[in-house]
């Protein structure tokens, strides 16, 4: 398995941009924390939000909830929770959360070229769900956790309208927001929401845990989400990682090289945290 890691390392360092490489080197112990922070903080604005190309399809300098959600993910994945990066991000989120509990893009963003999922009033539930996903992973104080409660209330309020359709990004939004709630916190209504979302994302039902082979897109998605379900199938996940590694050292990704590099970094993280590889 260490050969998988060495090949992945070459792929990442040859194809990653500066922030990807610095965070990866911090992950494997070849760069100190300050270098990782310095590389990432270049994308953070004075208001505490994030922009400036961290979200590859948006290069504007106006902070957005989508880019800020991505930054929260990196703060979580690379153990940057005790840094000013997080405290400033939380300040931004508290100051920009709408009265109804959602987050949305500001009008100023329209000065820039935007991907189809960004812009005021576009996929508000997805932006909100992405932020909930990462906030809920953090050890927040009671005041900061109030943001999560308000945002979930917004999504519950919107669900009757949203559930009239079968949009995959809306389904992902609700999975992100409610998927990791403990069973005791899952009311009948939350279970209804989850049932609707899962019927869109997995119309044939979830993968059979007893199957010999796991579908690669499922494995890659679960690693990207750091989903605890993988803990119960570590050997099969490791087999899928080996079987799907390309000659380049990376893994196939439907959203281009930038995302393929992030995927490779997170695969290395998964293997290391589960004791499958040794990092010198």
**Could you read off the pLDDT tens digit of each residue along the chain, which spans 280 residues?**
889 999 999 999 999 999 999 999 999 999 988 999 999 999 999 999 999 999 999 999 999 999 999 999 999 999 999 999 999 999 999 999 999 999 999 999 999 999 999 999 999 999 999 999 999 999 899 999 999 999 999 999 999 999 999 999 999 999 999 988 877 677 889 999 999 999 999 888 777 766 767 889 889 999 999 988 888 888 899 999 999 999 999 999 988 999 999 999 999 999 999 888 887 6
Q: Which helix (H) or strand (E) holds 265?
A: helix 256-273
In a domain, 182, yes or no: yes
Same domain, 102 and 222: no
pLDDT, residue 212, reads 67
Same domain, 109 and 214: no
pLDDT, residue 118, reads 96
Same domain, 79 and 161: yes
SS3 15: helix
In a domain, 37, yes or no: no
The tokens describing 183, both together, are: 């069973």
Q: Is 252 left (phi over 0), alpha (psi -120 to 50) or beta?
A: beta
Q: Other CB atoms closer than 10 Å to residue 279's CB: what's the count?
A: 13
In a domain, 83, yes or no: yes
Same domain, 118 and 226: no
Same domain, 70 and 96: yes
Q: Among 205, 237, 257, identify where a domain stops.
A: 205
Same domain, 161 and 252: no
Cβ partners under 8 Å of residue 74, min gap 6: 23, 40, 80
Q: Kindly report the CA angle at 136 between 87 and 85, in degrees rounded to 5?
A: 20
Same domain, 136 and 20: no
pLDDT, residue 278, reads 81
Residue 50, phi then psi, degrees to nearest 5: -125, 145
Same domain, 81 and 190: yes
Same domain, 113 and 131: yes
Q: Residue 179 carries which DSSP code? A: T
C-alpha span between 189 and 193 (Å, rounded): 6
Q: Among 149, 180, 205, identify where a domain stops.
A: 205
Q: Kindly report the CA angle at 165 between 163 and 166, in degrees rounded to 5?
A: 100
Same domain, 64 and 140: yes
pLDDT, residue 187, reads 87
Same domain, 121 and 242: no
Domain that holds residue 76: 43-205
The tokens describing 14, both together, are: 């040859």
Q: 3-state secondary structure string, 187-217?
A: CHHHHHHHHHHHHHHCCCCCCCCCCCCCCHH
In a domain, 275, yes or no: yes
In a domain, 113, yes or no: yes
Q: Among 163, 187, 205, identify where a domain stops.
A: 205
The tokens describing 36, both together, are: 């990782």
C-alpha span between 273 and 280 (Å, rounded): 14
In a domain, 55, yes or no: yes
- Helix, strand, coil shares of the chain, percent, nearest 5, are 60, 0, 40
Q: Which residues of 67-97 are buried (b: 16+ CB within 10 A; e: fewer)?
A: bbbbbbbbbbbbebeebebbebbbebbeebb
The tokens describing 26, both together, are: 């911090």
In a domain, 36, yes or no: no
Total structural domains in the chain?
Answer: 2
Same domain, 3 and 89: no
Say what the pTM is. 0.92
In a domain, 35, yes or no: no
């Amino acid at each position: 398995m260490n050969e998988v890691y060495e090949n992945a390392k070459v792929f990442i360092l040859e194809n990653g941009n500066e922030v990807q490489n610095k965070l990866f080197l911090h992950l494997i112990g070849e760069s100190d924390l300050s270098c990782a922070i310095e590389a990432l903080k270049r994308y953070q604005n004075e208001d505490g939000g994030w922009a400036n190309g961290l979200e590859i399809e948006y290069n504007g300098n106006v902070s957005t909830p989508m880019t800020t959600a991505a930054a929260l993910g990196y703060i979580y994945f690379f153990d940057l929770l005790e840094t000013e990066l997080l405290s400033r991000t939380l300040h931004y989120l508290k100051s920009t959360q709408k009265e109804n509990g959602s987050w949305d893009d500001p009008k100023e963003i329209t000065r820039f070229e935007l991907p189809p999922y960004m812009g005021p009033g576009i996929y508000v539930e997805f932006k909100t769900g992405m932020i909930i996903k990462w906030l809920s992973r953090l050890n927040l104080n009671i005041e900061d956790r109030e943001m999560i409660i308000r945002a979930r209330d917004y999504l519950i309020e919107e669900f009757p309208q949203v559930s009239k359709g079968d949009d995959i990004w809306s389904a992902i939004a609700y999975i992100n927001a409610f998927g990791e709630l403990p069973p005791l916190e899952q009311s009948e209504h939350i279970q209804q929401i989850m049932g609707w979302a899962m019927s869109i994302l997995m119309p044939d039902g979830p993968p059979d845990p007893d199957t010999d082979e796991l579908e690669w897109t499922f494995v890659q998605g679960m690693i990207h989400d750091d989903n605890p379900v993988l803990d119960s199938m570590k050997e099969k996940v490791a087999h899928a990682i080996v079987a799907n590694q390309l000659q380049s050292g990376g893994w196939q990704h439907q959203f281009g090289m930038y995302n393929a590099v992030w995927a490779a970094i997170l695969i290395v993280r998964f293997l290391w945290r589960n004791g499958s590889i040794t990092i010198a």
